[in-house]
Amino acid sequence: MNRLARRALHSSQIPEDLETVTFRDAAGENPAAAGVSRETVDALWHSVQSIYRTGVHPGIQISIRHKGEQVLHRAIGHASGNGPHDPKDAVKVPMTTDTPICYFSASKAVTALLMHMLAEQGLVNLMDPVSYYCPEFGVNGKRTITVHQILSHRGGIPAIPRETPIDVLWDNDEIWRLLCAARPVEVDGAKVAYHAITGGFVLQRVLERVTGDTIENYLDKHLRRPMGMKWFTYGIAPEHLNDLACNYATGPTPRFPVSWVVNRALGGDIRTVERVTNDPRFQEAVIPAGNLCGTAEEVSRFFQMMLNGGLWNGRRICSEITIRRAIQQFGSLQIDRTMMIPMRFSAGMMLGGNPVGLWGQNSRFAFGHVGLINKLCWADAARDISVSLLNTGIPIVGHHLPALAKFVYTVGNRFPLMPEHRRPLIAA
């Protein structure tokens, strides 16, 4: 891609020899143990390389598990220094499989499971109104909105009020005041409208009210430490800010009506999103719907635990019925009033579908979450796979979309549907 094209598409410079920017965790890949051929591994990796060659993702991490074994664990590109507007003399920091990346909205899947674990522990009933636990939330017509409605994006408060200063995102008391004062667009739960940021703050308040502890500590106690995660925290500790991969607004500048949808969902244009998400105040904050930080392997590990029915390395993280409730479809396929696309949700997960869905072809038993459109994290019980594709570009529309779709198709094609009697229990 020549310099003029890169400038027009806000793309990074890609070397001819991709091996010079590739990091392989050879010890972490064991395809033979899962009966996966070298040809399949090469095809999967080639599809990731094709995404990288579009130039919209300066850095990419990939982790794929099949039958519990990691069959692909690699990184390509740079964590920082090779963005489309970085100076020529910027230090290029290689992307590795251990580089923490912000998951953005893929964080919602983890926060949702924490709420289901609270229910398992008898601390909440997800069908209770939020106002039962947080009475101050129940004003201005929100008294009957349930925790379950918030989880399934039917809570009627899909966005923070317009003209809200962006630094409110890291002021939890002020964001809570605004959400309590907000008037819902509806309260009957009949319509889906994606809660990009708001729902996470509501769930955080409920969790902290019933546990008497912070959501960070609850995550650490019940998920992060039991599963042996190195990163996997809301935000990142100040001493590790320089380890965190940078985010880049890449691809063509969104125009109406796409720009309208972006502003509606995220509360700002894509350049503002880039600036905010690289701000240390955002990176150190606790934003349950959007700033969990970790690696592709860690979020793949999380979804593998869900495939295992709540088990990780023989340790019970949560009950199987908790997993089943977290992935159970709620409502029918509907046009999401925020994103303006058809979606199927559970109480916390984005679901696949037949004959084709978000997670590819014949993905009825797949569940997961997208992060800022490009980060794809999911599990498919009918194929016994756990997949995490993390990247550092935040293009909305552009020439990368065919390569991204081809990646999802390749995964579905290379891991065919298993006979029902061989699928993980949660697919039954």
The tally of CA atoms less than 13 A away on the side-chain side of residue 151 is 31
For 243-284, write each residue's pLDDT tens digit.
999 999 997 665 555 555 556 556 567 777 888 899 999 999
SS3 82: coil
Tokens of 139: 């004003």
Q: Which amino acid is it at 43? A: A
Measured CA angle at 401 (ends 112, 403), to 5 deg: 105
Give the integer Cα–Cα distance in Å for 103 and 404.
17
Predicted local confidence at residue 6, as pLDDT: 58
Measured CA angle at 106 (ends 74, 173), to 5 deg: 135
Q: Are 268 and 330 spatial neighbours (Cβ–Cβ below 8 Å)? A: no
Sequence-ordered list of residues with C-beta below 8 angstroms from that of 33, at least 6 positions apart, any chain? 67, 69
Comparing C-alpha atoms, which of 183, 204, 168, 86 is closest to residue 138?
A: 183
C-alpha distances in angstroms, 247 versus 79, 81, 197, 352?
9, 11, 18, 27
Comparing C-alpha atoms, which of 7, 6, 10 is closest to residue 249?
A: 10
Handedness of CA 330, 332, 337, 342 (dihedral sign): positive
Predicted local confidence at residue 190, as pLDDT: 81
Comparing C-alpha atoms, which of 320, 294, 316, 297 is closest to residue 307?
A: 320
Q: Can you name the residues that pair with 292 across neighbouring β-strands? A: 234
For 181-205, write each residue's pLDDT tens digit.
999 998 888 889 899 999 999 999 9
Phi/psi at 124 (nearest 5 deg)?
A: -140, 160
Give the integer Cα–Cα distance in Å for 393 and 8.
15
Q: Are 278 and 285 spatial neighbours (Cβ–Cβ below 8 Å)? A: no
Low-confidence ranges of the chain (pLDDT < 50): 428
Instruction: Characterize 214-229 residue by residue with b for buried, 16 or more Cβ atoms within 10 angstroms of its Cβ, and e for exposed.
Output: ebbebbbebbbebbeb
Give the integer Cα–Cα distance in Å for 367 and 113.
12
- Go through the domains of the chain in sequence order and give each one's CATH number: 3-109+224-422 (3.40.710.10)
Give the integer Cα–Cα distance in Å for 426 and 314.
17
Sequence-ordered list of residues with C-beta below 8 angstroms from that of 76, at least 6 positions apart, any chain? 18, 21, 22, 23, 48, 49, 52, 59, 60, 95
Predicted local confidence at residue 254, as pLDDT: 58
Give the integer Cα–Cα distance in Å for 343 and 339.
9
Question: CA dihedral defined by 274, 279, 280, 282, rounded to 10 degrees?
Answer: -70
For the chain, the 3-state helix, strand and coil shares in percent, each to the nearest 5, are: 40, 15, 45
Instruction: Characterize 268-306 residue by residue with b for buried, 16 or more Cβ atoms within 10 angstroms of its Cβ, and e for exposed.
Output: ebbeebbebbbeeebbbbbbbbbbbbbbbbbbbbbbbbb
Predicted local confidence at residue 189, as pLDDT: 81
Hey, how many other C-beta atoms are within 10 angstroms of the C-beta on 186? 17
Predicted structure pTM score: 0.95
Predicted local confidence at residue 167, as pLDDT: 83
Give the integer Cα–Cα distance in Å for 97 and 63.
9
Q: Are 105 and 196 spatial neighbours (Cβ–Cβ below 8 Å)? A: yes
Predicted local confidence at residue 396, as pLDDT: 79
